[in-house]
Structure 1
């Protein structure tokens, strides 16, 4: 493959890999299912219940590192499942996803190490990267264009959607349940996405800003009504989160299970011999073109 061909191909490869590897990019793992059942007269949310949910949301926002498993259905992407770990200080992330039954199928990986992002696409990547399975680019690399959005992906809180639950008009305590051996309290509620969009300008706080970003992501998916289920364990820690909705391209239904809270996250860069450096390829192409 010539330098010119590489320069033309690499961005397309990045786009393809991101489509698969960041299937949960709408808030580090967005999804939902069928439209929520809101039959019956809605009851006024119990203040104690709302406060308990808000406490769990605030606790989640303050975490430095976290690991989680995700599984479910994403409109246009089919069935997805995977595992991810991330740390904010130092910044690091390792996401491995599998997609099937959608536009993009196969296994996809994203690693964030220092100031570089590595995208892995298995055989699909090797077919266009001279047999190499990884593509590397710098987060600050302007040549990568919108692919620098990986920085936002790495910094995102995968439970950010939970910040919408306290805003629900019918948030309620469902009961006590055991999840993966942990005793939890199950909360649930239905969120009117359009209504939240109207309210967002009234508040200017970190939590409000966080909700605003999530609301915008749901609107891009064509979601008008979102059903959220939250399982909170000891120490106000979120153990499980489920999101369901009807999006423009079909039903969303994804469940996220959280573990290894605030534990060290170590991510290794792929072997240099199996990696194509996008920045290096672009420099060589520019040199060749004068």
Structure 2
């Protein structure tokens, strides 16, 4: 099997993922070094994550849930005095796991992890230089390691020369995922694929373009490990009596 064929097979399998338990480690422009563990389901669209901006220690810990297009947030990174004695705040409408123009997490999540990681893992299918690096064990699973580079031009070219509708739609989605990463030019991507042709881990590296927050030139280096695939996932909203609506809190702050 050629590297391109192996990557395409893994991408096709990733597109069949309806739920995922995964781990995130690395560096993002908005928060620096972070660690996170999350579970998500596509239908209904729910997600729960525990995230720690490690450079901030305990002051960087957050728990985030998306349920029924409402985002709930708790953790030591939030000033509890501003929550009227509650442990959580809610914000809506909130959207996670869609496209670059559709996601809305009120700047709680870094843009680069607002996307569905199963969809992000297929970006390497647009590479023109994907190659086999070797075999490695990821969380006890034997995998083959591939690496390649991708640009927005590569993705558009793959879209325009796609052999069928499914391949074209994949590259349209890949372009959207690439936009969310805010890569300035070239994305270097590593992909670890198991013997069952399922992605087990991928890593994305590159410089990000400037934003209004002054993040010009800051690097992205993010690794996502798939821990469980297509297993049951339950995400529940926290108790309403322990949740403050961020819109109500904002109105009170303005009135005060």
Of 123, 137, 162, the residue aligned with 1:178 is 137
8 Å contact from structure 1 (residues 133, 274) kept in 2: yes
SS of residue paired to 1:235: coil
CA distance in 2, matches of 1:115, 1:167: 31
Matched, 1:243 2:198: no
Q: What is the number of residues matched between the two proteins?
A: 230
* CA 271–101 in structure 1, closer or farther in 2 if over 3 Å, else same: same
Name whichever structure is richer in helix by fraction. 1
Normalising by structure 2, what TM-score?
0.77
Question: Separation in 2 of the partners of 1:245 and 1:171?
Answer: 16
- Does the CA contact (< 8 Å) of 1:136 and 1:278 recur in 2? yes
Aligned to 2:152: 193
C-alpha separation between the residues in 2 aligned to 1:222 and 1:206?
21
Q: Counterparts of 1:137-152 in structure 2 under 5 Å?
A: 137-139=91-93, 149-150=104-105
Which ranges in structure 1 are unaligned for 5 or more consecutive residues?
1-46
Among candidates 242, 246, 255, match of residue 274 of structure 1 = 242
How far apart, CA to CA, are the structure 2 residues paired with 1:275 and 1:169? 49
- Given that 2:48 and 2:66 are in contact with CA atoms closer than 8 Å, whether structure 1 keeps it comes out as yes
2:222 to 254, 259, 275: 254
**Higher Cα Rg: structure 1 or 2?**
1
Deviations 1:103-159 (A, max 9, x none): xx6112221223432122436241211122211234379xxxx997249x9994213
C-alpha distance 227-276 of structure 1, shift in aligned 2 (>3 A): same
1:177–1:185 contact (8 Å) kept in structure 2: yes
Q: Where do residues 70-81 of structure 1 align in structure 2 (5 Å cutoff)?
A: 70-81=24-35
Question: Is the alpha carbon distance of 1:181 and 1:83 closer, same or farther for their aligned partners in structure 2, counting shifts above 3 Å?
Answer: same
Aligned position for 1:94? 48
**Preserved CA contact (<8 Å) 1:193 1:223:** no
Task: Provide closer, same or farther for how the CA distance between residues 200 and 172 of structure 1 changes in structure 2, counting only shifts above 3 A.
Answer: same
Shift in CA distance, 70/140, structure 1 to aligned 2, threshold 3 Å: closer
Structure 2 match to 1:21: none
The answer to whether the Cα contact below 8 Å between 1:230 and 1:238 also exists between their aligned partners in 2 is yes
Q: TM-score, normalised by structure 1?
A: 0.69
1:119 to 61, 73, 88: 73
What's the Cα RMSD here?
A: 3.2
Counterparts of 1:33-48 in structure 2, within 5 Å, are 48=2
